[in-house]
């Protein structure tokens, strides 16, 4: 699971946590909005959960960001 600890993985986690805090949501509130368990949000932010493309889309809908733009931005991060 190298990508979880990679610079791209770290950039994605940082971005997602920043977006959640900018939305003034707790992990529990975001999880409720998504219909997920709060532990999933915690695991994503701690690098213990590999985020799928579908999850990025759902997170984008819940937090109001463009998932495609985030994927492009993360793709530019180099090891």
pLDDT in tens, 6-18: 999 999 999 999 9
The domain 2-75: what is its CATH number?
1.10.260.40
Please state the pTM of the whole predicted model. Answer: 0.90
The C-alpha atoms of residue 3 and residue 6 are separated, in whole angstroms, by 5
pLDDT tens for 61-74 read: 999 999 999 999 99
Given pLDDT bands bounded at 50, 70 and 90, which one contains residue 2? low
Buried b (16+ CB within 10 A) or exposed e, 55-71: bbebbbebbebebeebe
pLDDT score of 3? 61
Distance CA 43, CA 3 (A): 15
């Amino acid at each position: 699971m190298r990508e979880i600890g990679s610079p791209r993985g770290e950039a994605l986690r940082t971005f997602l946590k920043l977006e959640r805090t900018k939305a003034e949501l707790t992990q529990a509130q975001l999880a409720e909005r998504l219909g997920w368990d709060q532990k999933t949000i915690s695991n994503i932010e701690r690098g213990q959960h590999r985020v799928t493309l579908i999850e990025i889309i759902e997170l984008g809908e819940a937090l109001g960001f463009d998932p495609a733009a985030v994927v492009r931005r993360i793709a530019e991060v180099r090891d």
